[in-house]
Amino acid sequence: MEETEGESVKINTDIVFREEFDGTGILFNPDTGDTYGLNHTAAFIWKSLEAGIGPDGLLAELARHTELPPEAENEVAAFLQELKNKGYLLLDDGR
């Protein structure tokens, strides 16, 4: 995944994740009051990150549970970049 390749990311521990009954989820940043809705796949990715699976292992984890379209790698990389831009994920050095 080009945008996160070689980068080690971690979940911002200030973020609260709530899984909804239908498998979707919501991220909440109590510092800013911002919320971010997650569809089924995004919630799965978040839970995988919580379980310690890094960016390079996400595609393999997704492939174990669903059929991946060819553009999946770029979409996952873009999603992770968006989470970093919004402060939900941090680089391991704290950025």
On whether residue 26 sits in a domain, the answer given is yes
On whether residue 43 sits in a domain, the answer given is yes
Domain harbouring 62, CATH code = 3.90.930
pTM: 0.85
CA–CA dist 15, 27 (Å, integer): 7
On whether residue 30 sits in a domain, the answer given is yes
Burial class of 5 by CB neighbour count within 10 A (0 to 12, 13 to 18, 19+): exposed
CA–CA dist 89, 71 (Å, integer): 22
User: Average model confidence (pLDDT) for the chain?
Assistant: 88
CA–CA dist 60, 82 (Å, integer): 21
Residue 7: its pLDDT value, please?
Answer: 66
Instruction: State which residues form the domain around 14.
Output: 9-88
Q: Supply the DSSP symbol for 88.
A: S
CB-CB contact of 40 with 23 (8 Å): yes
pLDDT of residue 4 exceeding 70: no
On whether residue 3 sits in a domain, the answer given is no
pLDDT bin (cut points 50, 70, 90) of residue 1 is very low
* Number of domains comprising the chain: 1
pLDDT of residue 94 exceeding 70: no
